[in-house]
Homo-oligomer: A and B are copies of this chain.
Amino acid sequence: MLCGTIWKVGGKDHRRVIHAIKVGLSLTLVTMLHMLEPFFEVFGPNAMWIVMTVVLELQFTAGETSFKCLNMGVGTVLAGSLALFVDFIATKSRKMFQAMFFGTTVFLIGAAAAYLRFFPCVKNNYDSGIVIFLSTFTLIIASGYKENNVIKIVRDQFYFIAIGCATCLFMGILVFPVWSGEFLQNSIIDKLEGLAKSIQASVDEHFHDSSEIKENQEKRSLEDPIMAILDSKSNEGTLAFYARLEPRHSRLCNRFSWRQHMKLGDVLRQLGYTVVALRCCLQTEIQAPRSVRALFKDPCIRLSGEVTKVLMELANNIRNRRYCSPRILCDHLHEAVQDLDSVIKSLPRLFLDSNSNQATNMLAAARQTKPNAKHRRSRSAPEVIESVLRPELSETTITNPEFSEALSFASFAFLLVEIAGRLNNVIKEFEELGRIVCY
Contacts and interface: CB of A to CB of B under 8 A. Distances in A.
Given A31-B103, A280-B274, A407 B397 contact: no
Interface string A1-27: 000011001100000110111111111
A349 interface: yes
Contacts of A388: none
Contacts of A48: 135, 138-139, 142-143
A284 B418 contact: yes
Nearest to A396: B395
A111 to B, nearest CB: 3
Contact of A397 (B55, B113, B119, B397): B397
A403 B31 contact: no
**Which of A24, A234, A285 has the most B CB atoms < 10 Å from its CB?**
A24
A55 B138 contact: yes
B138 A51 contact: yes
Contacts of A411: 410-411, 414-415
B31 A142 contact: yes
A111 B349 contact: no
A329 interface: no
Contacts of A126: none
Interface in A45-91: 45-46, 48, 51-52, 55-56, 60
Interface residues of A, number: 97
**Which of A113, A273, A348, A349 has the most B CB atoms < 10 Å from its CB?**
A348
B110 A344 contact: no
Contact of A348 (B23, B28, B400): B400
A103 B234 contact: no
SS of A interface (majority) = helix
B345 A399 contact: yes
Nearest to A412: B411
Interface string A387-428: 000000001110111011001101101110010010000000
A234 B44 CA distance: 43
Nearest to A21: B111
A345 to B, nearest CB: 6
Interface stretch (A32-40, A307-315, A369-377): A32-40
Contact of A349 (B17, B21, B277, B397): B397
A170 interface: no
A142 to B, nearest CB: 4
A21 B44 CA distance: 34
Nearest to A13: B118
A134 interface: yes
Contacts of A113: 23
9 closest A-B pairs by beta carbon, nearest first, are A277-B277, A24-B111, A23-B114, A27-B110, A20-B115, A24-B110, A411-B411, A24-B107, A20-B111
